A and B are shown apart, each in its own frame.
Chain A
Amino acid sequence: MLLSNLRTIWLTFLHLFRKAVTIEYPEEKEKLPARWRGRIVLTRDPDGQERCVACYLCAVACPVDCISLQATQDETGRRYPEFFRINFSRCIFCGFCEEACPTYAIQLTPEYEMSEYVRQNMVYEKEHLLINGPGKYHDYNFYRVSGLAIGGKAKGEAMNEDPPVDLRSLLP
């Protein structure tokens, strides 16, 4: 027993010459994996328009109910959120919203330095969330895949979509 204790002490002593694992945070930062679940952004499609179609799925999926938004449409029938608000003092960064989103609009990014002195500042509005890029999915464009007609794209012009058939022409 004594010997094993002495061995423990010696081994611990040897750790003096090991390199410390500490990362001295503000100066050095850890390189986080790309799928790290940090600060949430709303992305735009490759045409530069908002991806979010205000379907409320993220708000429903959110276990802490920290997303709130209001749907609206522009004159061409394209849906978008009138406001989109995430309360980051409640968000637990579970990523469920990202998984629920049908359009890849809402995405979590590896940024984590979001501390604030005033709690009110933790509430992010759409202008804080919306970024000028497509995020992790560069080519996906929901309105170009779906069959919905909106401004600049009529029925049948979506990807892998045939032009609509004139039913009457099928009449014998």
Chain B
Amino acid sequence: MSPLLQTIIITVVVLLVLMTIAANLIWVERRMLALWQDRLGPNRVGPLGLVQVVADMVKIFFKEDWIPKFADRPVFFIAPTIVIITVLMSFAVIPFAPGISVVNLNVGLLFFLAMSSLGVYSVVLGGWSSNNKYSLLGSLRAAAQMISYEVFMGLSLMGVVILAGSFNLNDIVEAQGRITWFFIPQILGFFVFFLAGIAETHRLPFDLPEAESELISGFHSEYSGMKFGMFFVGEYLGITLISSMIVTLFFGGWLGPSFLPPVVWFLLKMAVFILIFVLLRAALPRPRYDQLMSYGWKFLLPLSLLNLVVTGLVVLLLK
């Protein structure tokens, strides 16, 4: 099989699997949230309500796709696509199993960080082009939140890079096979990255850009139909992305006892983190905006710097 063909096949399969996962997360989230709130959740459509996703999709495709007269049309159109594109691009560098990744970039980690920063544009442009004060407030919040959490998201990962000695995600996973899974030496880094990941995907409890109780729906107030759906799929893809990054960087990626194939290990670990995302949503209230910011800058940033310095020191001393 020629390498080109192989890449194309992997790309298509990864795309399909991701889209399926993201779509089914709608069901997973509604169902798990319900269980955690002593309810049942959607269980009518198909066995266990699994076909609910199809029903939701059909519904959202047939909804009126309304564009406000006062909106900035081209930008309004582009905004929802950006989030999906950037998140999907980030998946390109993730190694799902030995040899199964779309590209094997030697700066894979930086590529991921760059792409997730670009994702901010989606929210900012979406809020700006809606020409609505609530959307604008939401997108301003999103910009501030995502840019500040971006800072120590990157910093928290540098400990991993020091330990693995590489920006290449494949090498990082293999290094975890040699040393240990990095969440043990990098527990602080993991903690910071996880919080920053929640803030990046603006999920609850850090969903201030779309805080329903204050900003209607924040940056996507004016969106309807499938454009709104794209923001949503983007959000679920984001959860999947952050979960797979956590798995790759801190929990040994595809590594695991050999009675299951590596891909299955990867997906299992990813599923656990996706469920944790949902659990956080079920459990925690949203902080105030200034709390979010001061928490980020005054607590997480020093923590990630400390982590970086200590890791560097230890690695140097052990050399």
Q: Chain A interface (Cβ within 8 Å of chain B)?
A: 5, 8-9, 11-13, 15-16, 18-22, 24
The proximity string for B residues 14-58 relative to A, scoring 1 for CB distances below 8 Å and 0 otherwise, is: 000000000000000000001111111000000000000000000
Within the complex, which residue of B36, B40, B280, B284 is in contact with A16, where a contact is CB–CB below 8 Å?
B36
- Chain A residues lying within 8 Å of B283, measured Cβ to Cβ, are 5, 8-9, 11-13
B39 and A12 form a contact (CB under 8 A): no
- B284 close to A21 (CB less than 8 A): no
Alpha-carbon gap, A18 to B37, bound state (A): 9
Establish whether residues B36 and A24, one from each chain, have CB atoms under 8 Å apart when the complex forms.
Answer: no
Check B38–A8 contact: CB distance below 8 A. Answer: no
Task: Report the tally of A-B residue pairs with Cβ distances under 8 A.
Answer: 34
B35/A20 in contact, CB under 8 A? yes
Residue of A8, A13, A20 touching B39 (CB-CB under 8 A): A20
Q: How far is the CA of A35 from the CA of B102 in the complex (A)?
A: 67
Binary contact track B218-253/A, C-beta < 8 Å → 1, others 0: 000000000000000000000000000000000000
B280 touches A9 (CB 8 A): yes
Contact partners of A9 in chain B: CB under 8 A: 279-280, 283-284
List B residues at the A interface (Cβ < 8 Å). Answer: 34-40, 279-280, 282-284
Residues of the A chain whose Cβ atoms lie less than 8 Å from the Cβ of B40: 20, 22, 24
Q: How far is the CA of A20 from the CA of B40 in the complex (A)?
A: 6
Q: With the chains together, A1 CA to B34 CA distance in Å? A: 26
Alpha-carbon separation in the docked complex, A9 to B36 (Å):
10
Q: Pick the contact of B35 from A8, A11, A15, A24 — CB < 8 Å?
A: A15
How many angstroms from the CA of A22 to the CA of B38 in the assembled complex?
8
Whether B280 and A15, one on each chain, are in contact in the complex, defined by CB atoms closer than 8 angstroms, is: no
Interface pairs A-B: 5 shortest CB-CB: A12-B283, A22-B40, A9-B283, A20-B40, A8-B283
Docked-complex contact A15 and B37, CB < 8 angstroms? yes
What are 11 contact pairs spanning A and B, CB under 8 A?
A: A5-B283, A9-B279, A9-B280, A9-B284, A11-B283, A12-B282, A15-B37, A16-B35, A19-B38, A20-B38, A21-B38
The majority secondary structure among interface residues of chain B is helix
Q: Could you tell me the distance between the alpha carbons of A170 and B62 in the complex, rounded to whole angstroms?
A: 89
Indicate if the CB atoms of A12 and B38 lie closer than 8 Å: no
Give every chain B residue within 8 A of A19 (Cβ-Cβ). 38
> How many angstroms between the C-alpha atoms of A88 and B39 in the bound complex?
32
Residues from chain A with a CB closer than 8 A to the CB of B38 are: 15, 18-21
* Separation of A9 and B280 alpha carbons in the complex (Å): 7
Task: Write out the residue numbers on chain A whose beta carbons fall within 8 Å of the beta carbon of B37.
Answer: 15
Q: Is the CB of B36 within 8 A of A12?
A: yes
Residues of A within 8 A of B34 (CB): 20
| Chain A residue at smallest Cβ distance from B283 | A12
Separation of A8 and B285 alpha carbons in the complex (Å): 10
Chain A residues with Cβ below 8 Å from B284 are 5, 8-9
Distance between Cα atoms of A11 and B39 in the complex (Å): 16
Name the A residues within 8 Å of B282 (CB-CB): 12
Closest to B37 in A: A15
Expressed in whole angstroms, the minimum distance between the Cβ of A129 and any Cβ of chain B is: 34
Residues of A within 8 A of B280 (CB): 9
Q: Could you tell me if B35 and A13 are in contact, using CB atoms closer than 8 angstroms?
A: no
**Residues from chain B with Cβ under 8 Å of A5 in the complex:** 283-284
Of all chain B residues, the one with the shortest Cβ separation from A19 is: B38
Provide the bound-state CA to CA distance between A11 and B38, in Å.
12
Instruction: Provide the residues of chain B in CB contact with A12, threshold 8 Å.
Output: 36, 279, 282-283
CA distance A9 to B279 in the complex (A): 7
The CA-CA distance from A13 to B275 in the complex, in Å, is 10
A144: shortest Cβ distance to chain B, in Å? 53
The CA-CA distance from A15 to B41 in the complex, in Å, is: 14
CA distance A16 to B284 in the complex (A): 16
Q: Across the two chains, which residue of chain A brings its CB closest to B280?
A: A9
B287 to chain A, nearest CB (A): 10
Chain A: CB-nearest residue to B281? A12
Taking CB atoms, residues of chain B closer than 8 Å to A18 are 38
Least distance between B30 CB and chain A CB atoms (Å): 13
- A-chain residues with CB within 8 Å of residue B36 when the two chains form the complex: 12-13, 15-16
Question: Nearest residue in A to B191 (C-beta to C-beta)?
Answer: A2
**Bound Cα distance from A8 to B38, whole angstroms:** 15
A25 to chain B, nearest CB (A): 11
CB contacts (< 8 Å) of B35 on chain A: these are: 15-16, 20
In the complex, which residues of chain B have a beta carbon less than 8 angstroms from the beta carbon of A16?
Answer: 35-36
